[in-house]
């Protein structure tokens, strides 16, 4: 549970005070109202609760504190009342993590006097939206060759703990045409606890350049309502490589080869080997070439690649902050 003392709920203007009911309810004690924000609360997201007391009841609750309770009656936060505009009182906002279960939750609040005596009670509803779906997409090739096949991996997870095994997804191209459909598999991705995944074989379009397809995790057939989630699939469609760029990465000062330097010739990328060498197959064209990796400044050059060519990247050590700069 988080607790902070921020001043104003996020979705409310600081100067806008609610209209308060001035009639006392003998069963409920001194009346007050509770405001929650935001209006639509996602499962597990932040909920901000604030109590307001009308001016005519301020005297009765001047030294009171408000105690919030969740749907199970468990106390979840307490806040003192402070002066608000026009003689009214308001509590410090109490921020908490909302429940995971979608639907309406009956929370309550109690005004307590300095000795713990109950001065007023109020019930209020917290409406939790349907579960979101987390969608992740990886192993997308940095460049795909026009008309060629390629693979991507996608993962689906319900952040609220619903098991996403066998949940359906769809991939559509930039024209909205379905290019693939499928379901997640039976096991979570290694290293994760609930990210169910699938590897999808796709075919690159013939048109060159950047294209955004869409991956959509569909609403599952599940007792708990969920909200569909989409993610762009960025494709960089290129012609078949024609030339080879050979890169040698060396330390500018010592001349020693730099192994495992990253060679990025957008959108193509690779690493140098133990001898500091790398090869990148490219279509002819103009490229910016980066060679980088700790502890070096990134080497950068831009130029036209017309034929097979070689490049030596002299890399300079990025001066770390030394003792001389720092301590002493």
Binders of other proteins in range 138-167 (CB under 8 A): 138-140, 142, 155, 157, 159
| Count of residues near other proteins by CB under 8 A | 61
Binding string to other proteins for residues 201 to 230, with x set by CB under 8 A, is what? ---------x-x------------------
Asked if 69 and 76 count as a contact pair (C-beta separation under 8 A), the reply is yes
Binding string to other proteins for residues 287 to 326, with x set by CB under 8 A, is what? -x-x-xxxxxxx-x-----------------xxxxxxxxx
Binding string to other proteins for residues 170 to 199, with x set by CB under 8 A, is what? ------------------xx-xxxxx----
Q: Under the criterion CB under 8 A, does residue 108 sit at the interface with other proteins?
A: no
Q: Under the criterion CB under 8 A, does residue 285 sit at the interface with other proteins?
A: no
Tell me whether residue 57 or residue 96 sits nearer to other proteins (CB atom).
Answer: 96
Q: Under the criterion CB under 8 A, does residue 45 sit at the interface with other proteins?
A: yes
Q: Under the criterion CB under 8 A, does residue 240 sit at the interface with other proteins?
A: no
Q: Under the criterion CB under 8 A, does residue 15 sit at the interface with other proteins?
A: no
Task: Tell the smallest beta-carbon distance from residue 118 to other proteins (Å).
Answer: 31
Tell me whether residue 32 or residue 268 sits nearer to other proteins (CB atom).
Answer: 268
The interface region with other proteins, picked from 101-109, 111-119, 232-240, 251-259 by CB under 8 A, is: 232-240
Site residues (vs other proteins, CB under 8 A): 2, 4, 6-8, 14, 44-46, 97, 132, 134, 136-140, 142, 155, 157, 159, 188-189, 191-195, 210, 212, 231-232, 234-236, 262, 264, 266-267, 269, 288, 290, 292-298, 300, 318-328
């Amino acid at each position: 549970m988080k607790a902070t003392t921020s001043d104003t709920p996020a979705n409310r203007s600081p100067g806008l005070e609610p209209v308060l009911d001035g009639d006392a309810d003998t069963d409920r004690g001194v009346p007050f109202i509770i405001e929650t924000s935001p209006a639509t609360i996602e499962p597990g997201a932040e909920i901000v609760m604030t109590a307001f007391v009308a001016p005519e009841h301020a005297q009765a609750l001047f030294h009171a504190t408000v105690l919030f309770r969740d749907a199970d009656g468990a106390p979840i936060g307490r806040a003192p009342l402070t002066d608000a505009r026009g003689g009214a009182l308001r509590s410090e906002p109490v921020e908490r993590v909302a429940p995971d279960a979608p639907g309406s939750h009956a929370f309550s609040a109690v005004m307590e006097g300095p000795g713990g005596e109950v001065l007023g009670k109020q019930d209020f509803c917290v409406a939790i939206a349907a579960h979101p779906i987390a969608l992740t997409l990886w192993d997308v090739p940095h460049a795909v060759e026009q008309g060629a096949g390629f693979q991507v991996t996608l993962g689906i997870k319900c952040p609220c703990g619903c098991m996403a095994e066998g949940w359906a997804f769809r991939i559509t191209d930039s024209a909205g045409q379905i290019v693939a459909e499928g379901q997640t598999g039976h096991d979570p991705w290694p290293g994760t606890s609930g990210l169910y995944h699938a590897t999808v074989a796709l075919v690159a379009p013939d048109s060159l350049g950047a294209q955004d397809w869409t991956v959509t995790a569909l609403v599952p057939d599940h007792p708990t309502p969920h909200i569909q989630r989409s993610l762009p699939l960025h494709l960089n469609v290129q012609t078949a490589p024609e030339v080879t760029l050979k890169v040698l990465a060396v330390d500018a000062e010592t001349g020693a080869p730099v192994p495992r330097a990253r060679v990025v010739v957008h959108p193509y990328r690779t690493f140098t080997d133990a001898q500091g060498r790398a090869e990148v197959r490219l279509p002819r064209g103009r490229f910016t070439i980066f060679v980088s990796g700790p502890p070096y400044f990134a080497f950068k050059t831009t130029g036209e690649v017309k034929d097979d060519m070689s490049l030596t990247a002299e890399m300079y050590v990025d001066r770390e902050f030394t003792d001389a700069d720092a301590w002493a």
